């Protein structure tokens, strides 16, 4: 498959990409990681500029995109939503039109998925979803890259996600379905993933031989899993629900007792930041099965692949 087929495209959701296209992204991410480790220059975006709009604060997203553009020979501009006219009432459409005249690409980390889609609709340059309340595609590309590095081929692997049916869970559903993996999600009643996203993921899985399971029992989900994943119980913007969620999710903590049901060589992933003693026990995230630091690093390489493909 030609890299040219990616040029000018948006990265809003993994559902928008074919299994073959996701494989191309992951292959390129691996090549770029190798070049970076060997000190081989790869200025594929020399002279180009990425605008980074942040309505939600970030550690990994900001640093990985900014460093990634630098390593690709380009430049990144940090645009806090409160510092640009978007935060003072200018429409998303007008912001998209103006930024398209200055920039070569936009990354946005915000709340509503509809805002990202509107930005992409009116922009003449690629728009990359850095996170919304609904989806987190760049994180899951890094997750898939990490799983491939530690487990080899993705098809046939079982991934267990235990916790809130949130943006990370939604994009994992798409990522696993598109790559022929089995994903078993265990969430409390009332906190399960969006039914529409589950339906789309199941359609994707039919094409790849993958499988999608939505459960309430974390033990059932984790049994014989190759990969175990969790996320915080209360995401950004849900702080007022923290006490209620802590009570509801306590039986869903990923701890040593739960992961005994996984395969003996399972790996543990968490998108970070993590709250030890809440969604995950310290013995798991800091234990020998944890690959969270590889996962965090791969945000850099996976996103470089996306930027090089859509902006290059």
Q: Is 236 annotated as a binding residue?
A: yes
Of the residues 9, 10, 104, 109, only one is catalytic, namely: 109
Judging by beta carbons within 10 Å of its beta carbon (0-12, 13-18, 19+), is residue 88 exposed, middle or buried?
exposed
Residues 311, 125: Cα–Cα separation, whole Å: 8
Q: Catalytic site residue 150? A: no
Choose, from 148, 245, 299, 301, the residue flagged as catalytic: 299
138 annotated as ligand-binding: yes
Sheet holding 182-186, edge to edge: 211-215, 182-186, 158-162, 227-230, 267-270
* Catalytic residue (one of 15, 134, 136, 270): 136
Alpha carbon 301 to chain centroid, angstroms: 13
Annotated ligand binding at 85? The verdict is yes
Q: Is 124 annotated as a binding residue?
A: no
Rounded Cα distance between 138 and 127, Å, is: 12
Question: Of 55, 71, 139, 182, which residue is the catalytic one?
Answer: 139
* Active-site choice (134, 170, 271, 301): 271
80 is in an annotated binding site: no
Q: How far apart are CA 155 and CA 177, in angstroms?
A: 9
Q: Residue 100 annotated as binding? A: no
- 11 strand-pairing partners: 128
Binding site annotation covers 58? yes
Residue 271 annotated to the active site: yes
Contacts of 307 (CB under 8 A, 6+ apart): 45, 50, 65, 68, 69, 72, 105, 128
Residue 122 CA to residue 134 CA, distance in Å, equals: 20
Question: Sign of dihedral through CA atoms 19, 111, 298, 104?
Answer: positive
The answer to whether the annotation marks 113 as part of a ligand binding site is no
* 109 labeled part of a ligand binding site: yes
176 annotated binding-site participant = no
Do the annotations mark residue 134 as ligand-binding?
no
299 in catalytic set: yes
- DSSP H helices, 2-108, are 19-38, 60-71, 92-102
145 is catalytic: no
Instruction: For residue 124, count CB atoms less than 10 angstroms from its CB and return exposed for 0-12, middle for 13-18, buried for 19 or more.
Output: exposed
Q: Is 298 marked as a binding-site residue?
A: no
* Residue 167 marked ligand-binding: yes
The catalytically annotated residue of 36, 164, 231, 270 is 231
Q: Flag whether 139 is marked binding.
A: yes
Instruction: Judge whether 121 counts as a catalytic residue.
Output: no
Annotation marks residue 97 as catalytic: no
110 among the known binding-site residues?
Answer: no
Known binding positions for carbamoyl phosphate: 58-61, 85, 109, 136-139, 271-272, 299
Residues annotated in a binding site for L-ornithine: 167, 231, 235-236
Output the known binding site. Answer: 58-61, 85, 109, 136-139, 167, 231, 235-236, 271-272, 299
What residues act catalytically?
Answer: 109, 136, 139, 231, 271, 299
């Amino acid at each position: 498959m030609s890299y040219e087929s990616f040029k000018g495209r948006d990265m809003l959701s993994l559902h928008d990409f074919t299994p073959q296209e996701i494989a191309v992204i992951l292959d390129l991410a691996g090549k770029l990681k190798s070049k970076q480790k060997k000190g081989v220059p790869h200025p594929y975006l020399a002279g180009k500029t990425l605008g980074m709009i942040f309505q939600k604060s970030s550690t990994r997203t900001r640093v990985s995109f900014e460093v990634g553009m630098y390593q690709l020979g380009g430049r990144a501009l940090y645009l806090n939503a409160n510092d640009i006219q978007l935060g003072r009432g200018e429409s998303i459409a007008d912001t998209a039109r103006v930024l398209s005249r200055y920039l070569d690409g936009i990354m946005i980390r915000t709340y509503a998925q509809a805002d990202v889609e509107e930005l992409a609709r009116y922009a003449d340059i690629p728009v990359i979803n850095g996170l919304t309340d609904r989806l987190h595609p760049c994180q899951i590309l890094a997750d898939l890259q990490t799983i491939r590095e530690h487990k080899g081929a993705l098809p046939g692997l079982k991934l267990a996600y235990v916790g809130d049916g949130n943006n990370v869970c939604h994009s994992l559903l798409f990522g696993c379905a598109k790559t022929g993996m089995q994903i078993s999600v265990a969430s409390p009643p009332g906190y399960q993933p969006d039914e529409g996203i589950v339906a789309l993921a199941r359609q994707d899985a039919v094409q790849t031989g993958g499988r999608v399971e939505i459960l309430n029992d974390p033990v059932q989900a984790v049994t014989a899993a190759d990969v175990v994943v969790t996320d915080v119980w209360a995401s950004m913007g849900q702080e007022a629900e923290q006490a209620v969620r802590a009570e509801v999710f306590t039986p869903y903590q990923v701890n040593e007792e739960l992961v005994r049901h996984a395969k003996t060589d399972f790996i543990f992933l968490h998108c970070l930041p993590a709250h030890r003693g809440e969604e995950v026990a310290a013995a798991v995230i800091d234990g020998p099965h944890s690959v969270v630091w590889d996962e965090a690093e791969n945000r850099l390489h996976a996103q470089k692949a996306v930027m090089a493909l859509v902006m290059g």
